[in-house]
A and B are shown apart, each in its own frame.
Chain A
Amino acid sequence: MVEQTLKAEAKNLNFYYGDVHALKNINIPIKRRKVTALIGPSGCGKTTFLRCFNRMHDLYPHNRYEGEITLYPDNVNIISRDVDPIEIRMWISMVFQKPNPFPKSIYENVAYGPRVRGIKKKQIIDERVEKSLRGAALWDEVKDRLHNLAFDLSGGQQQRLCIARSLATEPRILLFDEPTSALDPTATSKIEELIVELKNEVTILIVTHNMQQAARVSDDTAFMYLGELVEFDRTDKIFTNPSNGLTEEYITGRFG
């Protein structure tokens, strides 16, 4: 039953940067093919939480996880030491604040993931590149210049290229860390539309400072403060009638 509606679930998740206890007993269900937004003031732990999902913290020593992030339907605890972070990053990919394409062609940026996965046949890679670029609503703009350098694209296009690159490994969960903070309003609304479309295919987790953005794109919202989860509920409930006074103060701009 759980497996059908949930894609992942954080259970009593704790995280430490050395001695700093950055996440405290977090329990958040991530619904399958829904957008879950993480909001909260700077330093509240929302990005730390997001990064647990693709084991980004493993890159630094002294970082420590406790608890579980269970991925369904496999029932795998993705923060377990027995699970290979490289494998996890194939399943759960991330789009960052600033577009960060590789210094390669548009085509090669998207083909990179499938190639790392060992796909060699050109026809299959071609198909995967087209599908991913279409998925990221970029295909029509770049189909005649696939072999141009990715840096020739505008900021908004580069960010959509990064989304296409993430999609190319056919991930189960897409993580967005402030994906539009470096973009203008037009490019921002394109990305937002894209996020809403993408949830038909993939489960999405997004960290955003822009509360209107959380309200526009997400189904569920988690409000975090000082490393703790203050409130988790349906987005419409959070933005019309939050249960917690602290959430109310934050989203109405009275603190944070």
Chain B
Amino acid sequence: MSIFDEELKGLKEKILRMGLLVESAIRDSIKSLVERDSELAKEVIKRDHDINALDVEIDEECIRLIALRQPKAGDLRFITTAMKITTDLERMGDLAEDISERAIELNEEPPLKPYIDIPRMADIAQGMLRDVLDALIKGNSKLATDVIKRDDEVDRLNLQVFNELLFFMIQDPTNVSRATRITYISKYLERIADHATNIAEMVIYMVEGKIVRHVTI
């Protein structure tokens, strides 16, 4: 294996590591909400530094490879994809941090209602992230296309959660503060799924050389 191939492999491993950190941040942020574990939420917030550090590290590595190796064709598409993907991953990490902050606030008050749709949304979003990372590593654009299709279900659940919470707020104004926070969390999860979709679109570009952003697949 050439030095350049080793470097590309190292880059791929870093992206994967960053993806796994983001995935566990999402999982633990929802866990801290559902299990009312504010200590875990604080830990998620602290761990976001590691994600940010990897974001910078991966960007620097991509710039170095472009400058020194003048990548072409598939290598070029992989490196440009890596640069864009880390932006999405970093934003997903921030959103997990946001979920944790809302969880800490919510955990200080009695529960409004059992969480049902929120964990379902989180499951789908996490699954999307896991599969899109798999698609990236394997260069599988079919798997990436499948990830994009799952975004609709998250959007649908987000709307459902919103309508339900609106009803709670209309019923009793003392619910507003908690219901608004849960609405935020729902929106954060919806955004996380959108970022997974962006990554899936970049993976399709990386594999097929075709830009599928802003078009319906």
Contact = CB atoms under 8 A, between A and B. Distances in A.
B57 to A, nearest CB: 24
A61 interface: no
Nearest to B80: A240
Interface string A147-187: 00000000000000000000000000000000000000000
B31 to A, nearest CB: 42
A241 B77 contact: yes
A54 to B, nearest CB: 31
A253 interface: yes
Contacts of B208: 241
Contacts of B76: 239-240
Contact of B74 (A211, A212, A238, A252): A252
Interface in A8-62: none
A252 B70 contact: no
B210 to A, nearest CB: 8
Interface in A109-144: none
Interface string A48-85: 00000000000000000000000000000000000000
Contacts of B73: 238-242, 247-248, 251-252
Interface string A73-114: 000000000000000000000000000000000000000000
A215 B70 CA distance: 11
B81 to A, nearest CB: 12
B76 to A, nearest CB: 6
B72 interface: yes
A230 to B, nearest CB: 13
A252 B77 contact: no
Given A241-B209, A253-B4, A212 B77 contact: no
B70 A248 contact: no
A215 B4 CA distance: 20
Nearest to B76: A240
B139 interface: no
A212 B4 CA distance: 17
Given A240-B209, A241-B209, A253-B4, A211 B77 contact: no
Nearest to A254: B2
A238 B76 CA distance: 12
Given A238-B73, A240-B76, A252-B74, 13 more contacts: A212-B70, A239-B72, A240-B72, A240-B73, A240-B77, A241-B208, A241-B209, A242-B73, A248-B74, A251-B72, A251-B73, A252-B72, A253-B4
13 contacts: A238-B73, A239-B72, A240-B72, A240-B76, A241-B77, A242-B73, A247-B73, A248-B74, A252-B71, A252-B72, A252-B74, A252-B75, A254-B2
A240 B209 CA distance: 7
Contacts of B71: 252
Nearest to B208: A241
Nearest to A247: B73
Interface in B110-136: none
Contacts of A212: 70
A211 B209 contact: no
Contacts of A215: 72
